[in-house]
Structure 1
Amino acid sequence: MSDKFQDIINQLDNLDFKKLYQDDFLLTWDKSEDELKAVWAVADAIRELRENNKSAKIFDSGLGISIFRDNSTRTRFSFASACNLLGLEVQDLDEKKSQVAHGETLLETANMVSFMADVVGIRDDMYIGKGHEYQEEFSKSVQRGYEDGTLEQRPTLVSLQCDRDHPTQMMADTAHFNHYFDGVESLKGKKVALTWAYSPSYGKPLSCPQGGIGLWTRLGMDVVLAHPEGYEVMEDIVEMSKKQAEESGGSFTVTNDIAEAFKDADIVYPKSWAPFAAMEKRTKLYSEGDFDGIDKLEKELLEQNKEHMDWTVTEELMATTKDGKALYCHPLPADITGVSCEHGEVEASVFDRYRKDLYKEASFKPYIIAAMIFLQRVADPKAKLEELWNKDQPRVNDK
């Protein structure tokens, strides 16, 4: 066994993460700090297995069910990659092609797709008060099916984004921070600027900024949330973040000045999102089937966004960060000025300079999802990881 792999899995010795076993992963703030650290450690271990051409399969058969109620590229393929890496096949539930379109209840749907499923990944992020609620109801439905004997095993759930949090994204982004700097402990005292940025589109979810402040305030970081007036996020998550910052020894600040947020920042995370009040209104309009109202709201929001076109990442703004060398991050896809749009979240020169880092940031997500599944399905993760290494089953048999 390599010293690097041994060092990675030895991190699990001092962590209490037993509650992750046969549990769901819906919100980062529902997990202890030890449980989050276990996910990062197992993700690194699984990546080390793959990079050494060792199979990470813990399943001989089974399904990973993906339910995407919003469009996705990175998260969809990250979930499929994670499931395949562990030995599961993936089946996507397209609700338009299912009996959901004919009025099938969530209780019935959850049980019908879960007969041989070991994990269900759900993305439901567009409607305030609906996404996390849907995931919780799905969880209760499969638990009831298991207790009733309908299901031979209870599949665990992984949130692939909801209206409140984007746990796989934020955990992957933080894994990137850990590797860029020197581990999670090195993040204490680091200033991270999580800012709104101009986009020529509207309706982008709140879950990334909320997930960021909900996670990074727990790690002793100095977190600054910046946005124009009127682009507030959920107040209960803001209040939770303030409390977490106090408990961790970090800080949490909200400002309406992007320059203040960027000044001396170690990490910048500029991302467009829709105002909370507008997302609430849109959810109501959808529930009423008022599509004319939705079109009108969209036009109003696009005009509102145009009032803040100066909220964009420029070379001049990046120069004000710590030593002019802050780590620029984004969950992707970014709206790149002069490339994907006329005027967007970031100048092309800034994006191009950080392109390698951005793609590396994205590459952590399949391993984070695989680690969540691994910890939910394996009672003794360290022993299993040692077994996989020593088994030395080639992932690619090219000899």
Structure 2
Amino acid sequence: MSDFQSYLDQLAGLDFSGMYGDDFLHTWDKTTDELRAMYAVAGALRNLRERNISPRIFDSGLAVSLFRDNSTRTRFSFASGTNLLGMQLQDLDEGKSQIAHGETVRETATMISFMADVIGIRDDKYIGEGDAYMAEVARSVDEAFHDGVLDHRPTLVSLQSDSDHPTQSSADMLYLINEFGGIENLKGKKVAVTWAYSPSYGKPLSCPQSLITLLPRFGMDVTLAHPEGYDLMPELVEKAKGYAAETGATFAQANTMAEAFEGADIVIPKSWAPYAAMERRTKLYAAGDDEGINKLEKELLAQNATHMGWCSTRELMEKTAKGQDTIYMHPLPADIAGVSCEHGEVMADVFEDHRIGMYKEASFKPYAVAAMIFLQKVKDPVDTLKALEERGRARWNQA
């Protein structure tokens, strides 16, 4: 009860009115107050569920998901988060739709939106394409609503684009808030966001970009480390520097994992593709150049292979603030050396040391999804949360 009231108290001091009726496509679209409100609502919703109080605000409703890339955690987190609020989920399989027969984005967006309350989209493969697609869907449902075709406008939530992964970084923040006992305790914590070796190529840049643009907003000192040539989108690196300057945090760049790990309170090593290479791949796909794509893939795999030493080991963990007890994070699935691949992002013993922590990290994502939707659908979140608790409807009825 006291925890629940603390979340309401946090909300009372924040200005998040701009979230109502809006979409959630990037964390940098939101004010710091709006992000804090989302974390507080996520905590309140989790508190209700763990006390067996139903947090459903919908008696009926449809959530539509569109995954243009593979997913486990985000797919089921979107399903769980929308169900938590009372909606049923329908996954849009483009292969079974009329898109192959020439149906436009505008038409698809409108047709899936009848009586739908939220649309979640993952489109992260090609630079510029995911954000552009989500923006077109948003424009389309706006138009259909204003034309009177839709009786309301469904909310859009990005489940990962080519630039940002807001549900993942929000889950990461919730995990860290929980681990350090409050958002105010994150200021001054040193975080290593580093590249790590993978035997595959083309992993999205959006995970590290999500982290470097979000963590400094709460006063966390971030070191970004990667081999030469594995740059992220330059405009987002600049955005990270700007946020760090605003909060008095630091944003540094390094060329070795060891430098980034030195004294770190949190380490987040994950592979990603070089920005320049992803731009090339996008152009090759647009041109239908299969031969060029195959050539690029071979080049990138060979380039990755020269950096196999970028792997999280117990020796590297000893350089951190608390050695083996330092928080190790990963959005999963990780490339585990000797388990899922011969050489990978992390040694098996390090992964096993931190496996439970990473599973807990992932457990916050459904609540992040639900909180994003809640704030975009509820005019008065504080009163609505109070009403849910006072109603006291059991989520799980037992004799």
**Could you state the TM-score of these two structures normalised by the residue count of structure 1?**
0.99
Distance, in Å, in 2 between the alignment partners of 1:292 and 1:281 is: 13
Query: 2:208 aligns to what?
Result: 209
Moved more, 119-128 or 323-332: 323-332
Query: 2:245 aligns to what?
Result: 246
Runs of 4+ in 1 over 2 A off after TM superposition: none
- What amino acid is the match of 1:106? V
Query: 1:218 aligns to what?
Result: 217
- Structure 1 residue 224, shift from structure 2 partner: 0.5
- What amino acid is the match of 1:323? K
- Structure 1 residue 323, shift from structure 2 partner: 2.9
- What amino acid is the match of 2:130? G
Query: 1:345 aligns to what?
Result: 345
Query: 1:101 aligns to what?
Result: 100
Distance, in Å, in 2 between the alignment partners of 1:12 and 1:242 is: 28
Distance, in Å, in 2 between the alignment partners of 1:323 and 1:395 is: 40
TM-superposition CA deviations, 1:71-95 (whole Å, max 9, x none): 0000000000011111101111111
Is 1:330 the counterpart of 2:330? The answer is yes
Distance, in Å, in 1 between the alignment partners of 2:360 and 2:375 is: 23
Query: 1:291 aligns to what?
Result: 290
SS in 2 for 1:354: helix
- What amino acid is the match of 2:87? L
Distance, in Å, in 1 between the alignment partners of 2:6 and 2:210 is: 29
TM-superposition CA deviations, 1:173-228 (whole Å, max 9, x none): 01111111121111111110000000011110000011110101211111010000
Distance, in Å, in 2 between the alignment partners of 1:245 and 1:103 is: 46
Alignment of 1:28-107 (within 5 A): 28-107=27-106
TM-superposition CA deviations, 1:151-193 (whole Å, max 9, x none): 0000011000001100000010011111111211111111100
SS in 1 for 2:308: coil
Query: 1:260 aligns to what?
Result: 259
- Structure 1 residue 351, shift from structure 2 partner: 0.7
SS in 2 for 1:269: strand
Distance, in Å, in 2 between the alignment partners of 1:269 and 1:102 is: 43
- Structure 1 residue 140, shift from structure 2 partner: 0.8
- What amino acid is the match of 2:380? D
Query: 1:142 aligns to what?
Result: 141
Query: 2:128 aligns to what?
Result: 129
- What amino acid is the match of 1:350? V
**Could you state the TM-score of these two structures normalised by the residue count of structure 2?**
0.99
- Structure 1 residue 97, shift from structure 2 partner: 1.0
- Structure 1 residue 390, shift from structure 2 partner: 1.1
SS in 2 for 1:322: coil
TM-superposition CA deviations, 1:214-256 (whole Å, max 9, x none): 1012111110100000100000001111111001110111111
- Structure 1 residue 306, shift from structure 2 partner: 0.4
Identity of aligned residues (%): 62
Unaligned runs of 5+ in 2: none
Distance, in Å, in 2 between the alignment partners of 1:57 and 1:291 is: 48
Is 1:359 the counterpart of 2:365? The answer is no
